[in-house]
Structure 1
Amino acid sequence: MTTATTPALRDEAERLLRELAGPEAQLRDDQWTAIEALVVGRRRALVVQRTGWGKSAVYFIAAKLLRADGHGPTVIVSPLLALMRNQVASAERAGVRAATINSGNVTEWDEIHARVAAQELDVLLVSPERLNNPDFRDQVLPSLAADAGLVVVDEAHCVSDWGHDFRPDYRRIRTLIGELGQGIPVLATTATANDRVVTDVSTQLGVGGGETLVLRGGLERESLHLSVVQIPEATARAAWLAQKLDSLPGSGIIYALTVSAARDLASLLTEQGHTVAAYTGQTDAGEREGLEQDLLDNRVKALVATSALGMGFDKPDLGFVVHLGAPSSPISYYQQVGRAGRSTDRAEVILLPGSEDRQIWSYFASVAFPREHMVRRVIEVLDPDRPQSTQALEPLVELGRTRLEMVLKVLDVDGAVRRVRGGWVGTGQPWTYDAERYERLERARESEQQAMLDYQRITTCRMAFLREQLDDPGLVAGASDCGRCDNCTGEHYDTAVDADAVAQTRSRLERPGIDLAPRKQWPSGLRKLGVALSGKITDGPEPGRVLGRLSDLGWGQRLRTLMDGPDGPAPENVLQACIAVLASWDWTQRPTAVMAVESTTHPLLAASLAERLAQIGRLEHLGVLRQRPGHPPVSAANSAYRVAGLADAWETPQLPGSTGPVLLVDTLTDTGWTLTMAARTLRAAGATSVLPFALAAVK
């Protein structure tokens, strides 16, 4: 520094901290060590400290001190909108001029870019996705990389393959760090990192030279009271939570593993008089901000959320965190429960695991990085001179949109492809599929899942177990029992649930029937696969119905058991539930006939259900829509490939000449394309319309 001695600098840092955190705030030793390393030493540092320790204070104070000494703005890479909003508010309290570029403020991007160029900002927060936006990467990022006063990577575990929330866009940060100008300090922060993640991230920070300073503190949280409540049946778990919610302190977060479970639980709790709301990755960005504020201001008892409400959400007095369903990793579990009790003496942390958790973990694991032949196909179809959008690429490869985007981002960082205006191009650079790395990651995932199962069963200290999983340097073997969890105190929650409450909950959750929206548009690029379909779908099915989702709190468990079990006739309780769905169906014209789609896994179940519905509803029974002999099975998740595989898949049925609306019965629906293409077959054979009905939806 040129404008202050180190003692004077610390005095100024203390003053800025008081502006941020209040008149009684004092810098921790490690906070000052980090600030001094960044501002005076111009070093690279990794700070791993528990939630609420004050990591954001380190980079806001360092940003202000560096700016006062004439250095450029600080660039903070931050993963979530909620986190960005909190950080901007915190910065303003300390007089730091901050702005954010993210998907929620597109109309402000040009103005913010101009403010960056005019040196009118102290801090710029960007999402990792922006780092590979062509305009930002080529026009804004080079000047920032050359002139930044400091680069901060928040939630830095996302950089690492070993992190519980790895994101492909974060891999670009390694490239950014490698291109930084001489002497630009870098700070990475996270609350949750075990030894593997710390080693990986600190190595990546060292790209371009310089050893990384690692400041790592203990993870003990004296306010958290951890409990596990074992209630085998899903309906009883939901009823127990509804019964206990009002007794939990303050307001809090209830985590669910899936979007549908969060919605169902929020609806159930609302109907039972609780003030709650659902918060998921599918919630509109503007609505999310309002819901966050409702929780901050205690206008709701709880937000029922997926992991979309996680990193960085800052409510110091959050009174409880409940999980209805266990996360797949102790590391991600600790990160989520760490939201609670930051400024309170006591916060309740309750886990209600379910037998369905492992199936949900398995599903999310199945959409991880694909096999080598699929990735190489992506490289093959890319043109080096003609950009192609993700939408245009989708019909050329056997990958769904989400997985394709992930593959492209990873290949971009690896140098095999490049994102440009208009889409993606191939670079022609050689690329190696790192099978060994992906196998290691799979083994690590399996190990973490087993540890989460072990956490539920242990009789020793739960906090010590979690701290051990995160390689907490402050954990002393044999002397670290927390004295607060249910195992340490012997005080376990009573699992008894009022029988009437269970009955009411079951009645609500098992109310059968969800809407099945028809596909309205053919996927693009079908002509490239030899299928002459494009534009709007004019000969598909009408809106349909499904008995329930596999992830439902009510019907989910029984439907999973049915789909995982041996083939057989439709059980009576399932049949009666289907009749209830049909009876409440507000169709424009009642079906006159019923037909089953041939099932490759449960042909008897599908055929028997259609036959019984025909008998009870006095509908004409048309039998089974059978696949053409020798037609290959269709497993593609990608829409274009799936439609191409289903084209001409069934034998043309011989329908009576006066066939009216047909009820088309299937056992399981996922993408909706099977029912769409089967409906076209019936329409072509003479059915006036087709009403699809499925026992279960995947999600």
Structure 2
Amino acid sequence: MSDSTPAATAAATAHATADGAAGPAGKGTREQAQDVLRELVGHPEAEFHDGQFEAIEALVDGGRRALVVQRTGWGKSAVYFVASLLLRRRGAGPTLIVSPLLALMRDQVAAAARAGVRAVAINSANQLDWNTVREQLAADEVDVLLVSPERLTNPAFRENQLPELIRRTGLLVIDEAHCISDWGHDFRPDYRRIADLITQLPDTVPVLATTATANSRVVHDIEEQLGKGVLTIRGALGRESLRLGVLNLPDSRERLGWLLTHLADLPGSGIIYTLTVSAAEDTARLLAEAGHEVLAYTGRTDPADRERAEQLLKDNQVKALVATSALGMGFDKPDLGFVVHLGAPSSPVAYYQQVGRAGRGAANADVLLLPGSEDRDIWQYFATASMPSEEKAAAVLTALAEAGGAVSTVALEARVDLRRTPLELLLKVLAVDGAVERVGGGWRSTGRPWHYDAERYGRIAEARVDEQDSMVIYQDTAGCRMEYITSVLDDETAHACGRCDNCAGRWFPADIAAKAADAASQTLRRAGVVLEPRLQWPSGMDRLGVGVKGKIKPEESVASGRVLARLTDLGWGGSLREAFAAGAPDRTVDPGMLQACVQVLREWGAADGRSPGWSGAGRPAAIVSVPSRSKPKLVDSLARGISGIGRIPYLGQLQLEHGGPTGGRGGNSAYRLAGVWDRLVVGPELGAALAGIEGQSVMLIDDLTDSRWTVTVAGRALRLAGAGSVLPLVLGQAG
């Protein structure tokens, strides 16, 4: 059961006595809380927002479990900081906050210190501080301890620190609580462990869950996991400071051209969100080359560089961070002036969460969405990537059961054909369900039966499709955009904002300067991505019948190569996605694509210290291609085209043995190598031709790569047949 009330009416359903328990100075809870709030914010006349004190009272006086769903900037952190200090004054132990992001933890610790709250964190970025933190906890010198949900799965932390923390915890806070829910836009398997943590707490320990992004389905799911007697305080989600708009432009050239034309006109500093890492990097490079102070911020960004970028944005030293969803929950810059999306997030919940970064402490902030035609394809990929497969789950459980003990993730890759990230995600799901457990040395089976809940995952998949459809409706609606987005989030107070482009007319210009459009075109035509060579064989290959291990011998390795583009790139990526789409016909290479490859070769030769055009000692003596079963015309025409333009002899293709490579894209490294091992060989005719150029460089041409094992094995075969360096040139790179 839950007592769900809007924030505006929460006071009517709270305790009848507004003064609460008397403190040591004779003050009631409200007066004590008011005093603490004013100390925290440094303002002698600060007052609580509707719902803040009601939540604090439920925690401090009632020892209850509460869920607070309030818009970004409402002051959820004030609730748990005030409650923490009041509970500490009454003799309670430290507050334990489960927080999902390092950036969020840094902000929370800094905010707590400014407010006089003794807060510390335990996470992967501060391992050198862990002993000090433990000493502070033992000395009762900590008011608030922040941990990541992943800490809860760490065997040493779970066995050595967690029991004592549970015994002493005065308040448990689950920040960004939508991560608990399968239905949340940023679900994390590790967050589901919190339900187990709650059951271990004494009934007298209050629990607070907070989020700004939860519809009714997510709210009900969180309430069930919090347990009985939950007080839910939901406030209005509409943000008066935000001015929403949507600008539909035909392609990436126009969207980037618009940014180049108008970025300087956007207020203050802000965030430009993209859907993929490569889009963020390409956009940041384009804007920086045009003189804009911007930085890329993605999952590939070094943690130290991320922290630096966050601080530069907070200090208004950059105009914008061009970011993926890696910069999302909890980033705190009250005066963030704008949020622009190059491509739409897959759900209104995710979109509202990201735009909520803007206008928290300012009267006005601009939010503009520039949707892309490729958005649905990207949504579909991410929607399926996080869903566990029954077949893969069964394979993991079988492998662990057969091992009879702990197996590392690396060793599991030689037993189950799953890449590292989805394998780790699946292991977490299985661990939360009790089928496996993380121990010293890796993972092991618990022996408990596990059932694949196909109905549940089917419902989640359907819900995500519905959310995607809602984002399309948001783009096309003629009504108020704020009213639509908040009504989809089940805000009963949703109403027309009077500020968005539909309510008040288009507030943003739509023109694109010719110079900006040309610059965008040049960026999109830019080709060439470095293809780093494999340096080491995967572990455990002997289990798959391949007798290699350790480092790849220099005399058997390929050189650094080039790819025309990644499939996720803004420019050539679109053409490559079409060429390699399921069911796409096999055609000869497009002349423009061929010329782009020639340009890649020119720049590649110059970058490697050779003269443009590959003249001199570094020029390849011959071209060899990898046989393609799906795109033979494409590969053959590319190889012959480069041969003709560069006047480099084309010796033909490698020979397929044993039916050719097995498996498809997406498998893990060990299985991908096993699938091509000894299946690409140098035939007699090609061998004779190679003998004539023994020791000289050979260019190896392929159509598509993701694991790089095809070019590695093919290059090894050429090296063993007498070729000197092997220079891979590939049209597309997946991922």
What is the TM-score when the length of structure 2 is the normalising length?
A: 0.92
Match of 1:323?
Answer: 341
Tell which deviates more after alignment, 56-65 or 278-287. 278-287
Contact 2:628–2:703 (CA under 8 A) maintained in structure 1? yes
Contact 1:42–1:185 (CA under 8 A) maintained in structure 2? yes
Contact 1:147–1:181 (CA under 8 A) maintained in structure 2? no
Q: How many Å separate the matches in 2 of 1:632 and 1:72?
A: 60
Q: Any idea what the Cα deviations from partners look like across 1:148-167, whole Å, max 9, x if unmatched?
A: 00000000000000000001
Match of 1:399?
Answer: 418
Match of 1:520?
Answer: 535
Out of 516, 530, 534, the position equivalent to 2:545 is 530
Q: How many Å separate the matches in 1 of 2:440 and 2:135?
A: 21
Q: Any idea what the Cα deviations from partners look like across 1:245-289, whole Å, max 9, x if unmatched?
A: 111001101111111111111111111111111111221222211
Out of 486, 508, 513, the position equivalent to 1:493 is 508
Out of 600, 620, 641, the position equivalent to 2:671 is 641
Match of 1:68?
Answer: 89
One-letter code aligned to 1:319: G
- For these two proteins, the number of residue pairs brought into alignment is 692
Is 2:531 the partner of 1:502?
no
Q: Any idea what the Cα deviations from partners look like across 1:283-302, whole Å, max 9, x if unmatched?
A: 12222111111111111111
Q: How many Å separate the matches in 2 of 1:168 and 1:258?
A: 22
Is 2:250 the partner of 1:229?
no
Match of 2:654?
Answer: 625
Match of 2:406?
Answer: 387
Q: How many Å separate the matches in 2 of 1:633 and 1:446?
A: 32
Out of 147, 164, 174, the position equivalent to 2:195 is 174
Q: How many Å separate the matches in 1 of 2:657 and 2:399?
A: 31
Contact 1:611–1:623 (CA under 8 A) maintained in structure 2? no
- Once the two structures are TM-superposed, the CA of residue 7 in structure 1 deviates from its matched residue by 5.7
- CA 496–625 in structure 1, closer or farther in 2 if over 3 Å, else same: farther
Contact 2:101–2:148 (CA under 8 A) maintained in structure 1? yes
Q: How many Å separate the matches in 2 of 1:319 and 1:352?
A: 17
Is 2:456 the partner of 1:437?
yes
Tell which deviates more after alignment, 586-595 or 142-151. 586-595
Match of 2:705?
Answer: 669
One-letter code aligned to 2:692: S
Contact 2:270–2:339 (CA under 8 A) maintained in structure 1? yes
Q: Any idea what the Cα deviations from partners look like across 1:321-366, whole Å, max 9, x if unmatched?
A: 0001111111100000011011212111000111111222222223
Q: How many Å separate the matches in 2 of 1:257 and 1:99?
A: 33
- CA 459–5 in structure 1, closer or farther in 2 if over 3 Å, else same: farther
- CA 366–673 in structure 1, closer or farther in 2 if over 3 Å, else same: farther
Match of 2:6?
Answer: none
- Once the two structures are TM-superposed, the CA of residue 651 in structure 1 deviates from its matched residue by 4.0
- Once the two structures are TM-superposed, the CA of residue 2 in structure 1 deviates from its matched residue by 7.2
Is 2:716 the partner of 1:680?
yes
Contact 1:234–1:557 (CA under 8 A) maintained in structure 2? no
Q: Any idea what the Cα deviations from partners look like across 1:120-157, whole Å, max 9, x if unmatched?
A: 21100000000111111111111111220000000000
One-letter code aligned to 1:374: K
Match of 2:7?
Answer: none
Is 2:140 the partner of 1:119?
yes
Is 2:675 the partner of 1:658?
no
Match of 1:604?
Answer: 633
Contact 1:16–1:94 (CA under 8 A) maintained in structure 2? no
Tell which deviates more after alignment, 429-438 or 185-194. 429-438
1:117-196 paired onto structure 2 within 5 Å: 117-196=138-217
1:67-86 paired onto structure 2 within 5 Å: 67-86=88-107
Q: How many Å separate the matches in 2 of 1:122 and 1:365?
A: 39
1:388-467 paired onto structure 2 within 5 Å: 388-467=407-486
Q: How many Å separate the matches in 2 of 1:650 and 1:196?
A: 52
Match of 2:283?
Answer: 265
One-letter code aligned to 1:546: V
Query: Secondary structure, in 3 states, of the residue corresponding to 1:113?
Result: helix
Contact 2:659–2:679 (CA under 8 A) maintained in structure 1? no
Q: Any idea what the Cα deviations from partners look like across 1:514-536, whole Å, max 9, x if unmatched?
A: 11111111111111111111111
- Once the two structures are TM-superposed, the CA of residue 629 in structure 1 deviates from its matched residue by 5.6
Out of 250, 257, 260, the position equivalent to 1:242 is 260
Is 2:66 the partner of 1:49?
no
Q: How many Å separate the matches in 2 of 1:6 and 1:397?
A: 65
- Once the two structures are TM-superposed, the CA of residue 685 in structure 1 deviates from its matched residue by 2.8
Q: How many Å separate the matches in 2 of 1:214 and 1:674?
A: 55
Q: How many Å separate the matches in 2 of 1:27 and 1:496?
A: 45
Contact 1:230–1:495 (CA under 8 A) maintained in structure 2? no
Q: How many Å separate the matches in 2 of 1:387 and 1:452?
A: 44
One-letter code aligned to 1:658: G
Q: How many Å separate the matches in 2 of 1:162 and 1:370?
A: 15
One-letter code aligned to 1:259: V
1:71-110 paired onto structure 2 within 5 Å: 71-110=92-131
| Percent of residue pairs bearing the same amino acid type | 56
Q: How many Å separate the matches in 2 of 1:21 and 1:562?
A: 57
Match of 1:553?
Answer: 570
Is 2:107 the partner of 1:58?
no
Query: Secondary structure, in 3 states, of the residue corresponding to 2:672?
Result: helix
One-letter code aligned to 1:639: S
One-letter code aligned to 1:9: T
Match of 1:21?
Answer: 41
Query: Secondary structure, in 3 states, of the residue corresponding to 2:88?
Result: helix
- CA 59–196 in structure 1, closer or farther in 2 if over 3 Å, else same: same
Structure 2: give runs of 5+ residues left out of the alignment.
1-20, 611-617
Structure 1: give runs of 5+ residues left out of the alignment.
none
- Once the two structures are TM-superposed, the CA of residue 385 in structure 1 deviates from its matched residue by 5.4
Q: Any idea what the Cα deviations from partners look like across 1:376-419, whole Å, max 9, x if unmatched?
A: 11111115753211111111101100011111111111111111
The alignment's C-alpha RMSD in Å is 1.6
Query: Secondary structure, in 3 states, of the residue corresponding to 1:236?
Result: helix
Match of 2:330?
Answer: 312
Match of 2:14?
Answer: none
Is 2:372 the partner of 1:362?
no
- Once the two structures are TM-superposed, the CA of residue 491 in structure 1 deviates from its matched residue by 1.8
- CA 158–145 in structure 1, closer or farther in 2 if over 3 Å, else same: same
Contact 1:72–1:148 (CA under 8 A) maintained in structure 2? yes
- Once the two structures are TM-superposed, the CA of residue 658 in structure 1 deviates from its matched residue by 2.3
